[in-house]
Amino acid sequence: MHKTEIIAEPGMPVITISREFDAPRELVFRAHVDPALLVQWLGPRDLTTVVERYDVRDGGTWRYVQTDADGHEYGFHGVFHGTPGPDAIVQTFEFEGTPGHVMLETTAFEQRDGVTLVRSVSSFQSVDDRDAMISAGMERGVRDSGDRLDEVLARRQPGDASAAAPADVPAQRPAALDRLDALIGEWEMEATFDEGFFGSGSPAVTNRGGRTTFEWLDGRFFLTQRFVVENPAAPNGIAIIGLSEAPDTFTQHYYDSRGVARVYEMSLDGNVWRLHREAPGFWQRYAGTISADGTTITGAWEMSADGQEWKHDFDLNYIKIG
């Protein structure tokens, strides 16, 4: 087991913590961003950690609470700066017992000679803040955390089938998913149907009032789309969007109140959102343009019987309301 090195130079508002781990870089990094692993090693051995939120993305917030044997709770929170990755995790750190005293922490992971070196540099607002952290027992927590992380990593090495992560669990979140942030929020839907859409002689009509909400599932690997339509003739439903096997493309799994289940290929390139489905007798595709300010999506659905000849189905626009 490797030792933890803690450096606090006199007169400098900085603490540098270094330690090597006998585990691959990706696994050590994952242990720092996966809440299920984080709670197994973070903090002194006599404290229990509960993660309330851990939104691992640029601007994402985090908070966890540690509890001692007597039930005393200690809360900590912060914000991620930049997209966390094995090259660096940059985040603020604030102990809620001393609000306003915020430090900036940068943690880097370096693979070398079969081990991973983890180096964390914590920058404080003042030397007094740094010294107060040391006096509060930081060293015990840091050394316990390092030892406990060693134990967690040892349990997850290849060959330990009881503890190894399943092969389908990604080591980190693909950056391509960040494209979907353009859809996040609540939108009002506006559908326009041409004359004759609802039968011979029916007039053109525009219906507005349905709602669509896009939000991330915890972990931000999958985006949910929930839609409610005020017209009783139209279905309500949900869709789950995630990465597909093709590079930088997505798959949408669609389910609605009629019992319909469909799978669409999806892309979001620049300001154009596209959906496409191949189905004998009823091919579909949608193209919507996102406005420069991100508040409207203007688009239309088309359909085809054979995927060769396409015709307009109906217009579908989205207006952001929250």
175-320 classified as CATH 2.40.128.20: yes
The rounded distance, in Å, linking the Cα atoms of 84 and 58 is 7
The rounded distance, in Å, linking the Cα atoms of 124 and 103 is 5
Nearest to 171 by CA among 106, 273, 84: 84
- DSSP 3-state of 45: coil
And the tokens for 232? 């009783």
Residue pair 250/274 in contact by the 8 Å Cβ criterion: no
Residue pair 222/184 in contact by the 8 Å Cβ criterion: no
Q: Is the pTM of this model over 0.75?
A: no
pLDDT on residue 162: 44
What CATH number matches the domain at 5-155, 3.40.718.10, 3.10.180.10, 3.30.70.2860, 3.30.530.20? 3.30.530.20
Phi-psi region of 173 (alpha: psi -120 to 50; beta: other; left: phi over 0): beta
CA 156 from chain center: how many Å? Answer: 23
For the stretch 38-59, pLDDT in tens is: 999 999 999 999 999 999 989 9
- DSSP 3-state of 175: helix
First to last CA, the chain: 51
Taking all residues of the chain, what is their mean pLDDT, rounded to a whole number?
Answer: 92
CA 158 from chain center: how many Å? Answer: 27
68-80 average pLDDT score: 95
pLDDT on residue 166: 63
Residue pair 107/122 in contact by the 8 Å Cβ criterion: no
pLDDT on residue 184: 96
160-184 average pLDDT score: 75
The rounded distance, in Å, linking the Cα atoms of 285 and 191 is 15
Binned at pLDDT 50, 70 and 90, residue 312 comes out as very high
Query: Can you list the alpha helix ranges (DSSP code H) found in the chain?
Result: 25-33, 35-38, 127-135, 138-155
180-194 average pLDDT score: 95
Nearest to 170 by CA among 57, 63, 33, 64: 33
> What residue ranges of the chain are covered by domains with CATH 3.30.530.20?
5-155
pLDDT on residue 100: 94
For the chain, percent of residues with pLDDT exceeding 70: 96
313-320 average pLDDT score: 97
For the chain, percent of residues with pLDDT exceeding 90: 79
For the stretch 220-275, pLDDT in tens is: 899 999 999 987 778 999 999 999 988 789 999 999 999 999 999 999 998 999 99
pLDDT above 70 for 171: no
The rounded distance, in Å, linking the Cα atoms of 249 and 246 is 6
pLDDT on residue 157: 65
pLDDT on residue 146: 96
The rounded distance, in Å, linking the Cα atoms of 116 and 96 is 31
The rounded distance, in Å, linking the Cα atoms of 294 and 292 is 5
The rounded distance, in Å, linking the Cα atoms of 80 and 58 is 6
And the tokens for 180? 């979907």
pLDDT on residue 200: 86
pLDDT on residue 225: 97
And the tokens for 92? 């603020």
pLDDT on residue 161: 43
> What residue ranges of the chain are covered by domains with CATH 2.40.128.20?
175-320
pLDDT above 60 for 95: yes
What are the two backbone dihedrals, phi and then psi, of residue 302, each rounded to the nearest 5 degrees? -125, 160
| Structural element, H or E, at residue 274 | strand 272-277
pLDDT on residue 17: 97
For the stretch 120-167, pLDDT in tens is: 999 999 999 999 999 998 999 999 999 999 999 988 765 544 445 566
In angstroms, how far apart are the furthest CA atoms of the chain?
85
The rounded distance, in Å, linking the Cα atoms of 257 and 237 is 6
